[in-house]
Amino acid sequence: MIAEIKFKNMFSFRDETVLSFEADKSKDLESYHVVELVPDVKLLKLAVIYGANASGKSNIIKVCDFIKSFITNTPLNKVELLKIVPFLLNRTSQEQASEFSVSFYIMNGDKATRYVYSVLLDNAHVVQETLIYYPSQQPATIFERGTENNVSSIKFGQKVKVSTAAKEEITLKCLPNMSVFAAYMQVNIHIIEMETVLQYLTKQMMPAIVPTSSLNRYAEEAIREAAAKEYILRYLQEADFNISNISSKERETKKGIVNYTMYQHKVSSEHGGNDYYEFPELFESDGTIRTFGLASQIQKIIESNAFLAVDEIESSLHPKLIEYIIERFLKESEQAQLLLTTHYDGLLGEEDLLRKDNIWFTEKNADGGSVLYPLTDFKGLNRISSLQKGYKFGKFGAIPNL
C-alpha cells in the first residue's frame, strides 16, 4: 500500500508537495477506511481531492501516471527526452530538476516491509535515483544511482546479492534518460529485492483514469471471467436498472477479429411478461459506458490490492452512483487504494461515507503555483455543522473566485 507520494517542480506544483495516505488517530469509520498493516502503521484506502478548475487536481493524477510510465520506459537512444514538465511560470524552476518519491509497503505473508523510491531528473537525464527499504528499524540501500561524466553510475547495497558481472551489465544498459528498473528489465538476471518492487510498481500501480480514457478494452477482457462479469453487471444495474446481462462477442473484419460488448436490456412487455433486447455500445449512454469501464478497473484493484487514480470521478455519472461506487469499494477492499479528484461537494455531506483525513484541497497561488493541503490542517472542524456548507462558503478555500 502507498503511504506517501512526494513531488516537487512537477507540472503546476513548484514547491515540495506531499499526498499522504497515513490515517490520523480518529476512530471514525475505521473498519471501512483504515488498514493496519503492522502495529502503528495505519493507512487509508481512499483520498479525495477538491479544488477549482486549473487549481492542480488533474496534475496530481499526471504525477502518478508519470511515475508509473517512467519506471518501465525504455528510450530508443540516450538523447530521447524524458518528457518531464517542470513548473513553467518561473524561469528558475524551468532550469531546475524535478523530483518525486513514493513511500509504500509490500506484504510478505504477515510482514509489511516499507520501501522508498526517489528520483531527481530533468528532461535530458536522471540526476539521482535511489531505492531503500526497511528490513528493520534502520534503512538499507537496494541501489543508488548517480551520474559521472554524463554516464550512469549504479551502486548496490551490501544486502543485495548480485554478481559484479550483473552490476556491470545493468550499468551498461542504463542510459542517462532511463530508470534503473528499465535497465534491469533488459538483463537476464533476477535480483529478488528489485523484482519485488518492480512487480509492485508496475502491476499494483494501475494506469490513471481520466474523463477521456477509453476503458472498453479492459472491461471486455474482464467480462470473460464469470466472477468479474457478475461484479461489473451489479455496477451496471445501478447505472441502468434495465440491463440484465452483458456479453463479449467477436466480429470478423478486414483487420482481423474485433471484440465488442453487447448489452441486454429487460423490459416489461405489453402482455405482462418480460422482453429482452440486445444493443451494442453505440446505443448506450455515456454514463453506462463509463460505469462499465470503472467497474472493471475497480474490481481489478480490489482483487490485486492495487492503487488506482481517477480524475473527475463525477464525469458522466449521477451523484448517487458516485456514492455507491465509493461505498462498495470501501466495503470490499482489503488493501486496495483509490485516489479521486472531484467537484462533487455532495460527498462532504455524507457523514457516514468519508473521514476528515480522506479529504484534500488544491488551490493556485498568485504566482501560478498549485498547493495541496488536507482538511485536517483546519482547526475546529468538530464545531462545523456541515463540511459541505463550509466548503461552499469558502472556509477551506479551493473554490473559484467568482
- For 276-311, the pLDDT digits (tens) are 999 988 898 888 888 888 999 999 999 999 999 999
Q: What is the DSSP string of 11-73?
A: TTB-S-EEEE-B--S--TTHHHHEEEEETTEEEESEEEEEE-TTSSHHHHHHHHHHHHHHHH-
pLDDT value of residue 250:
81
Cβ neighbours of residue 115 closer than 8 Å, sequence gap 6 or more? 103, 104, 105, 106, 131, 132, 133, 134, 197, 200
Band of residue 401 on the pLDDT scale cut at 50, 70, 90: confident
Q: Is 227 exposed, middle or buried (0-12, 13-18, 19+ CB in 10 A)?
A: exposed
Residue % of the chain over a pLDDT of 70: 100
Q: How confident is the model at residue 192 (pLDDT cuts 50, 70, 90)?
A: very high
Domains in the chain: boundaries: 2-45+56-203, 215-286
pLDDT digits (tens, 9 = 90+) for 79-117: 999 999 999 999 999 999 999 999 999 998 889 999 999
Rounded to the nearest integer, the mean pLDDT of the chain is 92
Strand partners, 116: 103, 132
Residue 402 has pLDDT above 70, yes or no: no
The C-alpha cell of 272 is what?
405482462
pTM score: 0.93
| CB 120, CB 127: distance < 8 Å | yes
Per-residue pLDDT reduced to its tens digit, 21-43: 999 999 999 999 999 998 889 99
Distance CA 119, CA 150 (A): 16
Per-residue pLDDT reduced to its tens digit, 207-249: 999 998 877 777 888 888 888 889 988 888 887 778 999 988 8
User: What is the percent of the chain where pLDDT is above 90?
Assistant: 74
Residues 6+ apart with CB under 8 A from 382: none
pLDDT band at 272 (very low <50, low <70, confident <90, very high): confident
Q: pLDDT, tens digit, for every residue of 111-137?
A: 999 999 999 999 999 999 999 999 988
Distance CA(135)–CA(121), nearest Å, equals 27
Residue 228, C-beta contacts closer than 8 angstroms, at least 6 positions apart: 222, 296, 299, 300
The pLDDT score that the predictor gives to residue 398 is 83
Average of per-residue pLDDT across 358-373 = 96
402 alpha carbon, distance to own chain's centre: 31
DSSP 134-184: -SSSS-EEEEEEEEETTEEEEEE-TT----HHHHHHHHHH--TTS-HHHHH
Residue 289, C-beta contacts closer than 8 angstroms, at least 6 positions apart? 216, 281, 316
